[in-house]
A and B are shown apart, each in its own frame.
Chain A
């Protein structure tokens, strides 16, 4: 057996899976995550990190286009599968593992190494032009300073690039930031194929450094209108899932895994009341370092004035407990339309954390809309 074979076999026993969750496919996504854990695989944190693309649910047209776009950016060897309601995640993963073990031969598709043909507007947004960035951390001691680079994107020597469009990407345009300094404006689409992110939400943000100055939201729906309102168990599971996501983004993998295990047991109907959920919520709430690190990440303008992320996180556990104990659920539905105002002025990382915390509310809003329509 040659070295290549040994490598291929070893590589086949580990893969990173990028999950594209279509709205309404929460249960399928959870099933996939559990199957990944059992196989010793893990979720990919970015497109570059992924070997396998898993589409979960029935994507509508716009969502399917995004999936193709993501697929085009993945490095070979790459594989994809489609998990629909009623298919076993484990079977699909097993097939993918066989393909991985057989090796990369026979895969087709554009050669990622040569980059993409940069023409579409989407590409420009993807890579945000040739940006100079200014560092901007609210509350940091270094103040705001913007540096503006006019770098012509060479490196591909010999090509004739237009001065304003190196490699077909328009240069970032300058604008005044919140301190009146000139900053490059960068456009970055967030979601919908992103871990710990609400299903189907595409947030186009405009950044000064890493601060969001403007945002627009789009909801990429599933095909068909088969969304059913959730029962208490699924609502509780969604809340625990969101708590697990916030904890993962905050850099606490152990606590995140615990919240996810509770979510899984909740969906299996193994949780008797909300005692265990309340216990984990208390433990997380008592972590002073976490409270300190998340401190200052607040949103304005929700119904009770400004709200701290840490309170929202412990609130997720509390609401899950209430659902499991059969108390009247607090409906805090949040339409995606409110997101642009919500994220304006936040850092990129804060946007990720908040969107994860809002996952159940966004989902519930969508479900109730579907029920009305």
Chain B
């Protein structure tokens, strides 16, 4: 087990998270600009302009809003992403090196349930609540497959420590012999970051759902937080499935960064191609198709792990 990094490194890790989130948001906006027949380059600066716009806009209040819970939820999204990233080993060290890193990452993604639902609840508006409950229904669909997907690398490496899991993939990444678990994990990442196609809780078809009543800084924190969660989830996939800091020539931390960027960018691109999954369809898919597949995947991984040892 490697040692935790000194707290000084929290600054570059957080700056990195912010920079990658901004770039991923830029990619998403650029794709949208292209769809609308506008130059791709014009889309790249949209996240910055949106930031300025929302910083200037006054926050909004609704009648009888549950302000305490609403505000805590909107300010909790980004810290949640930062905490997940803190467990990800960069090079040989993580900001927080814990023997139960996988469990922590899982626990944090479950906190997203509370945060997203409270966003819908706090506004005291019908569409917000509908969005919140749609998110919960969706969470029922993706969470169990996500939990079973997380066990695959843990079984294969025989450890719950992200650094050890990362080191166990010497030469052969877990994504190669656990592709189904990897796919289910990515699906879960899109789910807890409420990104398309897993965004029925914040969809246009429910007037923005959990986002419906948010304006100004509150909205900025949530929108940015969704990208940060996507990036944090992708970063956690690097030690779990993508060989961690394994890679030629460049130092280990750059490989973690590169893999995170590629995965989160890929998830944005793929997500835009798929229609929003409605919760009833998603539950069907999650429990009837994906869950058995992931359990079968865990079985395969277990058999291989036993055979190798």
Contact = CB atoms under 8 A, between A and B. Distances in A.
Question: Bound pair: A and B?
Answer: yes
Contacts of B277: 293
A127 to B, nearest CB: 5
A51 B206 contact: no
A35 to B, nearest CB: 12
A210 B61 contact: no
Given A48-B219, A155-B67, A142 B283 contact: yes
A135 B137 contact: yes
A249 B64 contact: no
B35 to A, nearest CB: 4
A292 B133 contact: no
A289 B275 contact: yes
B215 A48 contact: yes
B278 A293 contact: yes
B237 interface: no
Contacts, number: 204
Contacts of A112: 58, 60-61
B137 A167 contact: no
B283 A75 contact: no
B130 to A, nearest CB: 4
A348 B130 contact: yes
Nearest to A168: B63
A128 B280 contact: no
Contact of A248 (B50, B60, B204): B204
A11 B49 contact: yes
A242 B53 CA distance: 30
Q: Interface size bucket, B side?
A: 35 or more
B259 interface: no
Nearest to B136: A135
A341 interface: no
B52 A10 contact: yes
Given A140-B280, A169-B63, A251 B203 contact: yes
A150 to B, nearest CB: 13
B280 A139 contact: yes
B205 A293 contact: no
B206 A352 contact: yes
Given A140-B283, A166-B64, A75 B126 contact: no
B287 to A, nearest CB: 6
Contacts of B273: 254
Contacts of B62: 115, 127
Contacts of A133: 129-130, 133
B68 A155 contact: yes
Nearest to A149: B121
A281 interface: no
B280 A137 contact: yes
A209 B133 contact: yes
Nearest to A197: B207
B48 interface: yes
A94 interface: no
A299 interface: no
A135 B139 CA distance: 13
A200 to B, nearest CB: 18
B140 A142 contact: yes
A342 B127 CA distance: 21
A253 B63 CA distance: 33
Given A113-B59, A115-B62, A252-B275, A210 B52 contact: no
Interface in A103-119: 104, 112-116, 118
Given A11-B56, A77-B57, A127 B63 contact: yes
B33 A155 contact: no
B94 interface: no
Given A118-B63, A257-B36, A14 B50 contact: yes
A194 to B, nearest CB: 7
Which of B56, B65, B273, B277 has the largest count of A CB atoms less than 10 A from its CB?
B56
A292 B277 CA distance: 10
A349 B203 contact: yes
B37 A40 contact: no
Contacts of A75: 57-60, 215-216
A115 B196 contact: no
Contacts of A130: 64, 124
Contacts of A295: 281
Interface in B63-117: 63-68
Contacts of A166: 64
Nearest to A351: B205
A140 B37 CA distance: 39
Interface of A: 6-8, 10-11, 13-16, 37-38, 40, 45-46, 48-49, 51, 75-77, 104, 112-116, 118, 123, 126-128, 130-131, 133, 135, 137-142, 153, 155-156, 166-169, 186, 188, 194-196, 207, 209-210, 248-254, 257-258, 261, 287, 289-290, 292-296, 348-349, 352-353
23 contacts: A10-B53, A45-B204, A46-B211, A48-B60, A48-B215, A48-B219, A51-B57, A77-B56, A115-B62, A115-B63, A130-B124, A131-B124, A140-B137, A140-B279, A167-B63, A169-B63, A186-B126, A251-B205, A254-B273, A287-B275, A289-B274, A294-B275, A353-B205
Given A48-B213, A112-B58, 16 more contacts: A11-B52, A40-B38, A51-B57, A130-B124, A135-B133, A140-B280, A140-B283, A142-B137, A155-B64, A169-B63, A210-B133, A251-B205, A258-B35, A292-B281, A348-B130, A349-B206
> 7 tightest CB-CB pairs across the interface, nearest first?
A251-B276, A10-B52, A153-B64, A349-B205, A128-B126, A14-B49, A257-B35
